[in-house]
Amino acid sequence: MKQKIVFALALLTVMTGLYAQELSNFMNRKPIISPEISAAEVTFRLLAPKADTVKITGGFTPTVKMKTQWGEMDVPGSLTLTKGDDGLWSITLPLPEAELYTYSFLVDGVPINDPNNILLQRDGTRFLSVLLVPGKKTENYFEANKRGNLHQVWYESPTIGLNRRMFIYTPYGYETSGIKYPVLYLLHGAGGDEDAWSSMGRTRQILDNLIEKGLAKPMICVMPNGNPNQMAAKTTALPESDFDMRDPAKRNLYVNSIVKDIVPYVEKNFRVLADPDHRAIAGLSMGGGHTISVANEYPGLFQYICPLSMGLWGEQTDIDEKLQGLKKAGYKLYWLACGRKDFVWESAQKLDAKLTENGLKHTFFVTEGGHTWANWRAYLNTFAPLLFK
């Protein structure tokens, strides 16, 4: 009797919100497994009896060339699935190299998520299904054995004039260790928000794994929201101010708020080592710009500085003066990373040259690839072991 009840409860809970038309199918069908990963292949499946075409497109489908106003770009192409007698479309591909890929199906041209894949990530306003292929490159993207906690924290930002949200990672053992920790401030790019690094970036998993393996120091990681018009991610449906983010004076408000609001909040409310030797700042794309600005405007406050996929843009007449200020204040690590196919590649080269020209010791970590999360996850996995040592 109890078995029946539990089954009925499970089924009815799942059914809540289901529509009549598909209910019979649902109740009678076998579970559809998609994606199904084997040693050498991956199979994707979608039930779509009435569709004319079903395609798949994602990070693992062959790229095609496309002209844009910024020049020719490689963008993912699509592959067509085969329809089975039962209306189940499928495609089997050679397993792509270890990486976290996102993908969509195209059902008669409409992009959809894979309804049988529970792994879904939000990239800005879009949700994408996830294929996580195991291997050397991705081993730190899976759950570690010793896992840290993730906190969604609201704080006051008098500098911006809003109550705002950030995500804060505390390493395994934080609750009971009694010791103080160094802090990495990790900034997202345009289109992202406070959730980006922990979902797309797998920050918790990467730091958990590096710390468990003894490769990185146990550290707290603070992931704020870099859009000063927002209190929090759009998923909260909170109102946004009409604040023009393109106004450089106002954009500096966010950089100032990191130093004046966020760092003091973290140092008051978490058990941290509250000195420059135990503060790191890193960010991707727009957040790389914020990282460079924080380093230039507040020299000496962060001893570890890691701009990712960013560099020097346009005419910045005071750059030599700023870099001399930073050199004078001192720092322990300046770690700049960029991919050769990144559209910011030239600007990163320019920053590298300026750092050299001004005599600032630094690393220019050059990779293949472009302006992608594949690179940003790998960068985090590479620079986190260099911090606080």
- Residues 325-364 binding a second copy (CB under 8 A) are 343
Q: Compute how many residues bind a second copy; rule: CB under 8 A.
A: 102
Interface with a second copy in residues 138-197 (CB under 8 A): 142-143, 145, 147-154, 163, 165, 172, 175-176, 189-192
Q: Which is nearer to a second copy, 104 or 303 (CB)?
A: 104
Specify the stretch interacting with a second copy by CB under 8 A; choose among 62-70, 90-98, 214-222, 319-327: 62-70
Q: Which is nearer to a second copy, 276 or 339 (CB)?
A: 339
Specify the stretch interacting with a second copy by CB under 8 A; choose among 14-22, 91-99, 299-307, 317-325: 14-22
Q: Which is nearer to a second copy, 332 or 341 (CB)?
A: 341
CB 345 within 8 A of CB 338: yes
H or E segment to which residue 266 belongs: helix 263-269
**Residue 5 found at the interface with a second copy (CB under 8 A):** yes
Helix axes 319-329, 345-357, angle to 10 degrees: 60
- The mark string for 76-115 relative to a second copy (x by CB under 8 A, - otherwise) is xxx-----------------------x-x-xxxxxxxx-x
Q: Among 59, 182, 201, 228, indicate the residue that binds a second copy (CB under 8 A).
A: 59
Pairing outcome for strands 120-123 and 110-112: unpaired
Cβ-based burial of 109 (10 A; exposed 0-12, middle 13-18, buried ≥19): exposed
* Cα separation, 193 vs 189, whole angstroms: 8
Specify the stretch interacting with a second copy by CB under 8 A; choose among 70-78, 212-220, 320-328, 358-366: 70-78
**Residue 286 found at the interface with a second copy (CB under 8 A):** yes
* Cα separation, 168 vs 183, whole angstroms: 10
Helix axes 286-297, 319-329, angle to 10 degrees: 70
What does the block give as tokens for 319?
Answer: 């750059």
Supply angle C-alpha 99, 104, 108, rounded to 5.
155
**22 CB-near residues (< 8 Å, 6+ apart):** none
Q: Which is nearer to a second copy, 154 or 215 (CB)?
A: 154
Q: Among 39, 40, 118, 249, indicate the residue that binds a second copy (CB under 8 A).
A: 118
